[in-house]
Structure 1
Amino acid sequence: MIAYAFMLPFLILLVMFHTWPVLFGTFLAFNSYNIISPPQWVGLDNFRELFQDEQFWSGLRNSLKYILVVPVIQVISILVALLVNRPLKGIGFFRTAYYVPVVTSFAVVGLIWSWMYQQGGPVNTVLRTLGLASDDRSLLNNPATALLAVMFVTLWKGIGYYMVLYLAGLQNVSQELDDAATIDGATRWQVFWNVTVPGLRPTILVCSLLSTISAIKVFEEIVVMTQGGPAGSTYSVLFYSYSRAFQDFKYGLAAASSIIVALISIVFGLINFRLTRGGRSDA
């Protein structure tokens, strides 16, 4: 009873802010609801309307494109974790520096990067100097570059978070296997690929799951930096749900799109399990 008493506050909050919203949201997906009137059962009508809405498909395509961030952020995070895992002088400063963007509010991050991306800003200046940009238009105002610009901010902000997880995972990699492979004449790359990566597989699974779901559910970056523009080039599927609910007051349609997002997340979760062999460590 004492143990359950300690668990009770958390369980109450879990039911209030997780379990009940999931159940009620699933219920709303099959109803027409606008807050003012009580929910009216419409069956699969919300899903039919959803699949006929080109704006939904546009948002879904952009959210799926956003998944391209996942492998990039995982590779860079592993490399940074290996870099800061060495017992070098002042390494604590570098670990902190890499983690600072993680604890910075996205409202602040979005404003900073919006300024850096603006016409005549630092990013455009560097790109034009290197010959990588033909005009001085803001990257966020160009439909061809807006989504990539927002994805880079997600990448920059998330590296520190996954770096910390990989640092913890590196502590579980057998140092004896590392030393044995080195003594047997294995190169640094061979040790990394055949010892470090298999040992990190459980952490890779967790990090890839978290980053994949975050990519599919991208929202904060869109709201702060682009509001879905320009010309819908950064319009994500979760931003679609938000717009239908809080701008059009079509809560049933918004709930239906959220269910689609959840199902897609489950599919990509299963793919991650398959690619990482269920997170089983071979080291």
Structure 2
Amino acid sequence: MPHRRWWSPYLFLAPGLAAVLLFSLWPFVNTVVLSLTDARVLEGGSFVGLANYRRALADPDFWLAAANSVLYLLVVVPCLVVLPLGLAVLVRREVPGIGLFRSAFYTPVIASAVVVGLVWQWLLRSDGAVNAVLVRLRLVTEPVPFLTDSTLLLVSAMIVTVWKGLGYYMVFYLAALGNVPGALYEAAALDGAGPVRRFTSITVPSVKPMMLLVGTLSAISALRVFTEIYVLGGESGGPGGGARTLPFLIRQVGLGFAGETGYASALSLLLFLLTLAFSLLGRRLTKGDEA
């Protein structure tokens, strides 16, 4: 019977393999092929070799979008590595009502990114709540252009990303903290170590592998950011497109009946390579930590 049914395991693997081939591998291969053509949405295009990549490397819009994406990563990732850890330490304590706070911190995670963006747009616009408070407290004499200045728009989008990701990565750290033996904290307290010393000497080293994982995941998410920029800055990506990231630029290039599918595919692969580089960097750091 076992010899007659050697193919049984493959039947279980077939649906998953088919889904991977259809929705992951084939689109990737197709993107690589399209990146070597001058294809448009309604045209098949012809083979142009590496012309799209040379065009991208000579395109100021590409370098601006790439710089914004990397800047986004450099600001957002440290915040999403450190702040959720502090939050997890606080909500881990068993005090009355702590479950309510845990739920409140996690609520932005399950909320739609578009809804979150619209809420923050209402808060940050010129006649929004934040400017109203700042003007009322006389901290500013006129509304701050959070959404009409490219730099401030990018910063505002970063704040939204961090705010929405706090609860998500807090859960990661709560799982890691649950594996830290309580005896370590008790021994440190008996030795006279204060809360700060216990945090730096016990908590941080114990969750360091999780910190590296969170850093890698948040870096990938930061490089893929689109919704925050689109909702806060509109279809142009802020004044003159100054706050555009690489995913935003890819959408603009490939959108519409006149969309340049080939060039958008080349930009997508450049974004893939950038993401892969940071992923490999995170993996290398993780291996170094385990060693």
SS of residue in 2 equivalent to 1:41? coil
Q: Give 1:24's match in structure 2, choosing from 13, 23, 30.
A: 30
How far did 1:105 drift?
0.7
> Conserved in 2, the CA contact under 8 Å of 1:150 and 1:221?
yes
User: 2:42 is matched with which residue?
Assistant: 36
User: 2:280 is matched with which residue?
Assistant: 270
Q: Distance in 2 between matches of 1:82 and 1:148?
A: 27
Q: Distance in 1 between matches of 2:9 and 2:140?
A: 61
> Conserved in 1, the CA contact under 8 Å of 2:154 and 2:229?
no
User: 1:172 is matched with which residue?
Assistant: 179
Q: Give 2:242's match in structure 1, choosing from 217, 225, 233.
A: 233
The alpha-carbon distance between structure 1 residues 196 and 7, as it changes in their structure 2 partners (threshold 3 A), is: farther
Q: Give 1:97's match in structure 2, choosing from 88, 91, 104.
A: 104
Larger radius of gyration: 2
Structure 1 residue ranges without an equivalent (≥5): none
Q: Distance in 1 between matches of 2:127 and 2:41?
A: 45
How far did 1:194 drift?
2.0
User: 1:181 is matched with which residue?
Assistant: 188
Give the number of equivalent residue pairs: 281
**Percent identity, aligned pairs only?**
38
SS of residue in 2 equivalent to 1:38? coil
Q: Give 1:139's match in structure 2, choosing from 126, 133, 146.
A: 146
How far did 1:229 drift?
0.9
SS of residue in 1 equivalent to 2:242? coil
User: 1:243 is matched with which residue?
Assistant: 252
Q: Distance in 2 between matches of 1:232 and 1:178?
A: 51
Letter in 1 for 2:244: Y
TM-score of the pair, normalised by structure 1: 0.91
How far did 1:152 drift?
0.6
User: 1:203 is matched with which residue?
Assistant: 210
How do 1:55-94 and structure 2 match up within 5 A?
A: 55-67=61-73, 68-94=75-101
TM-score of the pair, normalised by structure 2: 0.89
How far did 1:274 drift?
4.6
| Deviating more after overlay: 173-182 vs 76-85 | 173-182
SS of residue in 1 equivalent to 2:189? helix
The alpha-carbon distance between structure 1 residues 133 and 13, as it changes in their structure 2 partners (threshold 3 A), is: farther
| Deviating more after overlay: 155-164 vs 272-281 | 272-281
| Deviating more after overlay: 148-157 vs 218-227 | 218-227
How far did 1:46 drift?
0.4
How far did 1:15 drift?
2.1
Q: Distance in 2 between matches of 1:175 and 1:61?
A: 44
Calculate the aligned-residue CA RMSD, in Å: 2.0
User: 2:200 is matched with which residue?
Assistant: 193
Q: Give 1:253's match in structure 2, choosing from 253, 263, 268.
A: 263
Letter in 1 for 2:273: L
User: 1:218 is matched with which residue?
Assistant: 225
**2:55 matched to 1:46?**
no
How far did 1:277 drift?
5.2
How far did 1:134 drift?
4.0
Q: Distance in 2 between matches of 1:54 and 1:171?
A: 48
User: 1:157 is matched with which residue?
Assistant: 164
Q: Show CA shifts across 1:62-97 (max 9, x none).
A: 111111111012211001111111111121111111
Q: Give 2:290's match in structure 1, choosing from 266, 269, 280.
A: 280
Structure 2 residue ranges without an equivalent (≥5): 1-6
